[in-house]
Structure 1
Amino acid sequence: MPLTDPDLWNLIRTWPLPYSDEMDDGVTPARRCRRFEDNLRRAGDWTEDAAEEITIAYRQFFYLKALTGETLTPPKWIDAAWHQHLAFPIDYSALEAGIGRKIVHQQQLNKEERKAGWNRGREIWKAEFDEDPPLKMWPPLQVWWRPWAALAVLIIGVPWSVLLVKSEMAGLPPGLLIPFIALFWLSCGCVAVLIYGSPRPDQMSRCG
């Protein structure tokens, strides 16, 4: 599927991103930064390959923002590149002028806005680039267990299971008692996910 605005993408894809001429001691031998990717690698302590991937993904994300003007929640890696770009306001404004539109960086979105922006970003990415965003960078939204969710299930489920077995319900046929206990444990798990589960990946930024 062709891009909605190939001229816009080509402009953003080839636009020279700014950089700061600082010493990068995290590579061997140490050298001065000569590209946006070098600054990004130094700031995030990433590998050079990772910094390259993030920069490309940032350009794609910037294109989606410019194309739609919508609130899109990027992964924290892309947001790190976005913040680095914003640290050069003259260059950032020059790119905005070049594409003829403002790209607003909204901060401190609420949980629902972040979830909606995360899903919408993935949706538009696939529609424009004819593929899902990199899974390791921008995975689908799902419920992620926290360690204390499993602990809550054990704390609640074990005592109640023992009580059920020792109570008068123990007189029930095993064919009824065992499914009842299994259903109870399943209910505990669902409640724990709702209360303690994280409704977003840890990679999600707070901006959009």
Structure 2
Amino acid sequence: MVQEYRRFLFLAATAAGAVTPSDAVDQAWHLHLAYTRSYWDDLCGGVLGRPLHHGPTAGGAQEQTRYQAQYVATLVAYEAAFGTPPPPAIWPPVERRFAARFVRADRATLWLVPKRAALISVAAPAAGVALIAATGGTVAGVLVPLVVLAIGAAAVGFGRRHGRRTRRGQSEGDGCGSGCSSSDSGGHHGDSGCGGHGGGCGGGGD
């Protein structure tokens, strides 16, 4: 992740036009910006020799289209500069890059359940009630729905455990800080000046 962030900084400083990072790279950028002395003094002052600003967009469909085009151009510029396609785990295709919607969630008061597990947990009781009604409340008609309910509950439990493992792995290994957050409005970040070149940022908001 650190290497990909550095490569983005290189593109922002050298590309002919504005560049737009992936969401993962954007989160690394957000984190670096929070360490103001490191970002402004060490990076901009000592490494780049010029400012590299991170500005929010005005939003709207026109901005969405612009940042999508910039992101595609950034992927092309990446391969031209480094001689290899950007790793898709960090730089996903444009349709996935702008499909994600992030919100801040307090896990002390909220349970985060994957949609698939949640759908199963909702469908299982409904199926159980329907089976009981259809069988007239016989022993078999009661046991079968109970089994279905047990499977649904197990799926929800697995989803919660998997979500915790996924979040733990991301917080420890992806190079992005837990203090970074994005809005659910789908907002984007605007052009960032680096001398005569722009380093734009799209997707996820401030």
Mark yes or no: TM-score above 0.5. no
Query: TM-score, with normalisation over the residues of structure 1?
Result: 0.42
Query: TM-score, with normalisation over the residues of structure 2?
Result: 0.42
